[in-house]
Structure 1
Amino acid sequence: MKGRRISRMQVKFKRNVALVALLAALQAVPSVAQQSFVFNTITVQGNQRIETGTILTQLGIQRGQAVSAADLNDAIQAVRASGLFENVDADLQGGTLVLRVQEYPTINRISFEGNSRISAEQLATLVSSTERRVFNPTQATEDANRIIQAYANEGRINASVTPSFINRTDNRVDLVFEIVEGAVTEIERISFVGNSAFGDGRLRRVLDTKEAGLLRAIVGRDTYSPDRINVDRRLLTDFYQSRGYADFRVQNVDVALTAARDAYVVTFNVEEGPRYRMGNVTLSSTLPEADGAAFGNILRVSQGDVYSPTSIDADVQRIENQALRLGLNFVRVNPIITRDPASLRLNLEYRLERGERLFIERIDIEGNTTTLDRVVRSQFRTVEGDPFNPRAIRESAARIRALGFFSDAQVNTRQGSAPDQVVIDVDVVEQPTGSASFGVNFGSDDGAALVASYQEQNFLGRGQSLGLTLSTGETNQVLSFSFAEPMLFGRDLRGGIDLSYRRTESDYALYNTSNFRFSPSLQFPISERGRIGVNYALTYTDIFNVDDDASELIKEEAALGEQWSNSVGYSYTWDSRRNGVDERTSFGFRFSQDFGFGDTTYIRSAALATAQTRVFSDEVLLRATLEGGYLHYSDGESRVTDRYFMGSRVMRGFRSGGIGPRDENSDDPLGGNAFAVLRLEAEFPLGLPEEYGISGGAFLDYGSLWDVGKQVDGVTIISDDAIARAVAGVSLFWTTPLGPLRFNFSTPITVEDYDNTRGFELTVSTAF
């Protein structure tokens, strides 16, 4: 097809010179220009695919209709403007109007050439031109611009896209987008002007945009994007205001290209303003039916607190929810803040006012090609016909974004069919929510393992989560399956099923074990930040391949054979953190109990409490965690498959099975029915570029594992009492695409001679 490809799309519309001259002549003579024309016959020539009736409809002139010269000109222009024809000519032959058209070709095939960074499948979603539809040059140009913008979002601002076509038979063309991707234009430096309360390094960690560096291939956010900069402005504002800087604002953001046009320099010019604390906090009402005394006891913001708009919004939400519980609709809370610059205090008045009487007519959802409407609707606490509450709608929008199913979610309102009706428009842009992986995992306790996994957070667009993991390694084989429905029966009720099988062949034990667990569960909220979960569990355990040199206690437990047990349990979790807020201080708590029944009767209790805060201008993170568990049998005895073991994820500095009760003769770790550990740690920057994701830390762990709960003839159990150990060390944190890795270098402070310590370990860093 050489020679038939147009190098650059330049489709020129031909003009009917004769017709233009005729119409001009008609209008040049007033008596003629005012003359009416009547066509007894209108014929169309040259059309192949488009019906004559369709063209006549576009022309808008009926046979026998009197039209002026201007009307005739407008009619012909309307046919041209339809975008269906490359050329339109018209001849006046007495009482006959002859319309000659040349149709645009049909698109036979759409292809992309020169692309490697963005796949053809992704590019196809950007273009509006469609195969087997009429080719439109304007549309092709718009498609090319969208592709250019997609490359610009990837940091390739010098990319160029040229739409061209190859002629085929039967008035068809192949539309080809010729792409020159160009090099990545990275962000070389991000700096701040006007900041004094927080350093550049701390503020860079707040931003979604990152600087490019040695690891730019895995950073993914080191290219310039105007949309991302707008998000960064909001993130900075939220960060400062949640720490008391009520007057903070981003004055402007300077974005400049380097001289070589291969990198950006981004500068945020900020104005911090003073840091405020709360002064007097009061509540008043302008409504006779709303007594302010009924709301005062639910306020959480108090005098002396650091100013935080999020805390104020939470109070407003509580007040409005209380009004609804009291049967008061259309009550709005207006938080009125007055400044006291001398004392740097903000006096706050929550004023209850009458809101506008508006009702929700309907909720329209657009953009969700995979996710079902009901998944989005479930994030609204209001339905059609309910009173309209702007704050509730904003909170619903935040919940939709927090799902993680959409790259963008906009919730707007507009006038409904009546003055008191409101239509809520939800526009979402879906993003991938599933992942499949196959690779090698490594941990200091379990060694190397081959891992295959599949995770989907929006299964079949229903908002359900599905997980399947298969791992086979040196010491463990694991198969796990999980499924959860977050809105069971259309309510905030999370139903889940967990199934797992684990087989261990540990180097530190002279026996093997296998465990199976099936557990359905339900979880629901009982307060603003607290949730209750209930569960049932069917458990199978077995101890086999016991070595002759193993502990007699282990042999006795293995002789019991396969064991099945049933249990029911509950859990309570409380978390002070709020979505979307980078908080300085936060707290978390979890407590659970499982009650075993059947051949054995037991109660397994576990608790975890965590507190963390940032100091030194938020540069240093301090965290304290207290964790413990207790297993009590009222009928029967625990086995090694039931008791606790303290690995590196619980207490650092020890080999797996290296702490706690053990057989003096065989040196087998026996586990314990009780454990407790206090973990103190700090995380701080090392002065390296933030985009590397590397920071340092220090830790101190203090705890113990004890109480086998039985005695066996001929077995001497050592360390069966609560003998405390202490370990200190330093850490290196590295955030990688494989996960947040943590390298610990530890040294024992207080340990027993028979403990098995470890000076170095590699783990996956976790947070509560």
Structure 2
Amino acid sequence: MQTKTKNILFFWQSERGVLQKDVLDTDVDRLTVFYHNHGYMDAKVGTPKIEKRKDGFYIEIPILEGERYKVASFEVAGDKVEGIEKLQEQWKTKVGKFFSRSKVREDTETLTRFCMDQGYAHAEVQPRIRKNTETHEAYIMLNVKLGPKVTIGRIDIEGNTKTRDKVIRGQLQITEGDTFSATKIENSQMKLKRLDYFEEVSIEPQPGETPEVMNLKIKVKEKLTGSISAGGGFSSDEGLFVGGEIIQRNLFGRGQAMALRAHLGADAQRYSLSFTEPSLFDTYYYLGLDAYNWLREYEDFTKDSQGFQIRTGRFFGNWSRFGVGYTFESARIKDIDENAASIIKEQEGRQIKSSITFSLRRDSTDNAFLPTRGSINRVSVEFASDFLGSDSCFTKYQVISGWYIPLLWKLTGFVKGELGWINKTGDNPIPLFDRFFLGGINSVRSYDWGELGPKDPETGDTIGGTKYGLFTSELIFPIFEEIKLHGVVFFDAGNAFDEGEDLDVSKFKMGIGGGIRWVSPLGPLRIEWAYNPDPDPGDSRSKWQFSMGASF
């Protein structure tokens, strides 16, 4: 095989145009792997012949393909494995399909993990491959040697100078006396990392008193979990601001979280206090309390609100939790401009909101701030009723699903969809701030927060919708991994719709752009620019968005 274009030589040359022999050797190995994964069991890739000419290097790689083999049989032999029929749909190797060495390797790893999850910590699976050179068929056997069934003996923890043992043990999916499971140990390590209390986390198997017993040693290295910060900045939603916060995510080493925040801006003042106990009385139940005082000046009015929330629920399964929350808010709409929309004028004065929210959330991501795999899914229903003392009565539904997908070259794909709708169940109108407003850095980024949605026909003010849809896709890539600096390109589409309107995908507005994300010492920082490919009259062609803090 001889290269026919100069471009392909780029992969084998340094920046100075010098042929890189080690890179060429790697590509030769890849060619061999390619053939062996596409049925050519006898394929041989020879040593490249390199000829230097005036216009560049010419490379000839001799390849002997041989015949292409199909899988004639695929079976498991050796020690009996209980429940192996559960793997039938997971096998990559298929009878009648072309042989693939990588698929055999994947099936070997799948069967090994399956055996280890049943307690056989020392299980060995050896693939045995036989071929018929006349019929060009491959016969594959996975030979299993289980070894003794293992239980967990002691679980020792070291390195936790602050965090209490019970906080760490509360994250484990496996305890002393349980049957060994490689997956449960791996998930336990991931959950400990997601706490973000530790710089390093490892779970190491240790020999027990007998071959049937295995001890585990958990090693952690504590990191700072508290912060006191003050400063200022610029938000694309609120303009210039100053603020400060005191946060402790691991209060007294008990795993509790407390935060006190103050935010003072030209258009907004916010004060809040929150506390969360993630393991109430050492159970799977959690309890949270929040209190706040917010003042926000909008273009046509001001909202002055005070409230509190009580959150409780239960963790279950590996990554899921069910929650119930009660919210009480006293809000006053004031300083209304005489040219404001009628829906704003109708809500002048003080309103009481009293509601209960039920939610179900599953989070299997591998990192709280820069996930590379896993998903976040949430369903919630909020009921506001006069029975609870609420001035307005409504039922509000929301569904969110986002998925992180690891790709080649350390790229991460992200796709997210959202749906929401609200139904009025009383005589009073739905409160303005319980309607749906789109735009901003966590929505359609070619619009500022609150710009996108139904508008008053007389004033042009955005009045929020009673239903909305939103789609987001992102490609995230590392820039400087050492300092956790990443880049992103994205596509957003969505809109909100009023009563009497259908949720019409053809009316979705779009945003296309890119930006940077940095997990800084002060928290996650995002700076992003979005282009609007189809603006309505009066809409901007592009927007800059800025935020500091985690989001989903």
Which amino acid in the other structure matches residue 420 of structure 2?
Answer: G
Task: Identify the residue that residue 591 of structure 1 maps to in structure 2.
Answer: 379
Q: Does 1:735 align with 2:525?
A: no
Quick check: 1:584–1:613 contact (8 Å CA) kept in 2?
A: yes
CA 1:657–1:369: 2 relative to 1, 3 Å: closer
Task: Identify the residue that residue 531 of structure 2 maps to in structure 1.
Answer: 747
CA-CA distance at 1:540 after TM superposition: 3.4
CA-CA distance at 1:505 after TM superposition: 0.8
CA 1:727–1:519: 2 relative to 1, 3 Å: same
Q: Does 1:654 align with 2:428?
A: no
CA-CA distance at 1:455 after TM superposition: 1.9
Task: Identify the residue that residue 538 of structure 1 maps to in structure 2.
Answer: 328
- 1:559-638 to structure 2, matched below 5 A, reads 559=349, 561-573=350-362, 575=364, 577-578=365-366, 587-598=375-386, 599=390, 600-613=392-405, 617-618=408-409, 621-636=412-427, 637-638=429-430
- 1:344-423 to structure 2, matched below 5 A, reads 349=142, 351=144, 353=146, 355-356=148-149, 360=153, 362-384=154-176, 386-387=177-178, 389=180, 391=182, 396=188, 399-409=191-201, 411=203
CA-CA distance at 1:553 after TM superposition: 2.1
- Mapped to 2, the partners of 1:488 and 1:316 lie a distance apart of 38
CA 1:642–1:347: 2 relative to 1, 3 Å: farther
Q: Does 1:548 align with 2:341?
A: no
Could you tell me which runs of 5 or more consecutive residues in structure 1 were left unpaired when the two chains were aligned. Answer: 1-191, 200-243, 245-278, 324-329, 711-718
- 1:89-488 to structure 2, matched below 5 A, reads 286=79, 292=82, 294-297=83-86, 301-303=90-92, 334=123, 336-338=125-127, 349=142, 351=144, 353=146, 355-356=148-149, 360=153, 362-384=154-176, 386-387=177-178, 389=180, 391=182, 396=188, 399-409=191-201, 411=203, 425-488=217-280
| Greater share of residues in strand | 2
CA 1:563–1:619: 2 relative to 1, 3 Å: same
Cα distance per residue 1:607-660 (max 9 Å; x no partner): 223345465x43655433222211112224302121111131211112333222
CA-CA distance at 1:303 after TM superposition: 0.9
Quick check: 1:283–1:350 contact (8 Å CA) kept in 2?
A: yes
- Mapped to 2, the partners of 1:318 and 1:597 lie a distance apart of 50
Secondary structure class of the residue paired with 1:557: coil
Which amino acid in the other structure matches residue 532 of structure 2?
Answer: P
Task: Identify the residue that residue 491 of structure 2 maps to in structure 1.
Answer: 700
- Mapped to 2, the partners of 1:700 and 1:463 lie a distance apart of 37
Quick check: 1:434–1:454 contact (8 Å CA) kept in 2?
A: yes
CA-CA distance at 1:504 after TM superposition: 1.0
- Mapped to 2, the partners of 1:439 and 1:346 lie a distance apart of 68
- Mapped to 2, the partners of 1:461 and 1:610 lie a distance apart of 32
CA 1:394–1:670: 2 relative to 1, 3 Å: closer
Which amino acid in the other structure matches residue 377 of structure 2?
Answer: F
Of 412-421 and 469-478, more deviation after overlay is shown by 412-421
Provide TM-score, normalisation by structure 1: 0.51
CA-CA distance at 1:554 after TM superposition: 1.3
Q: Does 1:676 align with 2:469?
A: yes
CA 1:736–1:661: 2 relative to 1, 3 Å: same
- Mapped to 1, the partners of 2:356 and 2:142 lie a distance apart of 51
CA-CA distance at 1:462 after TM superposition: 0.8
Task: Identify the residue that residue 97 of structure 1 maps to in structure 2.
Answer: none
- Mapped to 2, the partners of 1:562 and 1:308 lie a distance apart of 65
CA 1:725–1:570: 2 relative to 1, 3 Å: closer
Quick check: 2:437–2:464 contact (8 Å CA) kept in 1?
A: yes
Quick check: 1:670–1:708 contact (8 Å CA) kept in 2?
A: no
Q: Does 1:664 align with 2:457?
A: yes
Quick check: 2:116–2:181 contact (8 Å CA) kept in 1?
A: no
- Mapped to 2, the partners of 1:543 and 1:596 lie a distance apart of 19
- Mapped to 2, the partners of 1:509 and 1:400 lie a distance apart of 47
Task: Identify the residue that residue 312 of structure 2 maps to in structure 1.
Answer: 521
Quick check: 1:331–1:352 contact (8 Å CA) kept in 2?
A: no
Cα distance per residue 1:543-590 (max 9 Å; x no partner): 22223332232121224x321312131223354x4579x997755433
CA 1:285–1:672: 2 relative to 1, 3 Å: farther
CA 1:302–1:454: 2 relative to 1, 3 Å: farther
CA 1:594–1:741: 2 relative to 1, 3 Å: same
Task: Identify the residue that residue 60 of structure 2 maps to in structure 1.
Answer: none
CA 1:758–1:317: 2 relative to 1, 3 Å: same
- Mapped to 2, the partners of 1:194 and 1:698 lie a distance apart of 33
Quick check: 2:412–2:477 contact (8 Å CA) kept in 1?
A: yes
Which amino acid in the other structure matches residue 533 of structure 1?
Answer: G
Cα distance per residue 1:141-183 (max 9 Å; x no partner): xxxxxxxxxxxxxxxxxxxxxxxxxxxxxxxxxxxxxxxxxxx
Cα distance per residue 1:413-454 (max 9 Å; x no partner): 667788977665555443322111111132111112222112
CA 1:589–1:476: 2 relative to 1, 3 Å: same
Quick check: 1:647–1:654 contact (8 Å CA) kept in 2?
A: yes
- Mapped to 2, the partners of 1:491 and 1:382 lie a distance apart of 15
Quick check: 2:272–2:290 contact (8 Å CA) kept in 1?
A: yes
- Mapped to 2, the partners of 1:654 and 1:767 lie a distance apart of 18
CA-CA distance at 1:674 after TM superposition: 1.2
Which amino acid in the other structure matches residue 468 of structure 1?
Answer: L
Instruction: Number of aligned residue pairs: give it.
Output: 469
CA-CA distance at 1:352 after TM superposition: 8.0
- Mapped to 2, the partners of 1:281 and 1:378 lie a distance apart of 42
- Mapped to 1, the partners of 2:471 and 2:25 lie a distance apart of 32
Which amino acid in the other structure matches residue 85 of structure 2?
Answer: G
CA 1:319–1:724: 2 relative to 1, 3 Å: farther
Q: Percent identity?
A: 21
Which amino acid in the other structure matches residue 592 of structure 1?
Answer: S
Secondary structure class of the residue paired with 2:294: strand
Secondary structure class of the residue paired with 1:750: coil
- Mapped to 2, the partners of 1:364 and 1:645 lie a distance apart of 51
Task: Identify the residue that residue 726 of structure 1 maps to in structure 2.
Answer: 509
Which amino acid in the other structure matches residue 260 of structure 2?
Answer: L
- 1:484-495 to structure 2, matched below 5 A, reads 484-495=276-287
Quick check: 1:300–1:315 contact (8 Å CA) kept in 2?
A: no
Which amino acid in the other structure matches residue 296 of structure 2?
Answer: T
Could you tell me which runs of 5 or more consecutive residues in structure 2 were left unpaired when the two chains were aligned. Answer: 1-19, 28-36, 38-70, 94-99
Cα distance per residue 1:731-759 (max 9 Å; x no partner): 23152625554444433332332546653
- Mapped to 2, the partners of 1:628 and 1:602 lie a distance apart of 17
Cα distance per residue 1:456-487 (max 9 Å; x no partner): 22111112222222212122222233332333
CA 1:431–1:298: 2 relative to 1, 3 Å: same
In angstroms, what is the RMSD of aligned CA positions?
Answer: 4.6
Which amino acid in the other structure matches residue 257 of structure 2?
Answer: S
Quick check: 1:660–1:672 contact (8 Å CA) kept in 2?
A: yes
Higher Cα Rg, which structure: 1
- Mapped to 2, the partners of 1:721 and 1:347 lie a distance apart of 53
Provide TM-score, normalisation by structure 2: 0.69
Task: Identify the residue that residue 11 of structure 2 maps to in structure 1.
Answer: none
Cα distance per residue 1:51-74 (max 9 Å; x no partner): xxxxxxxxxxxxxxxxxxxxxxxx
CA-CA distance at 1:694 after TM superposition: 6.2
Cα distance per residue 1:515-544 (max 9 Å; x no partner): 524131214224x45443333333433322
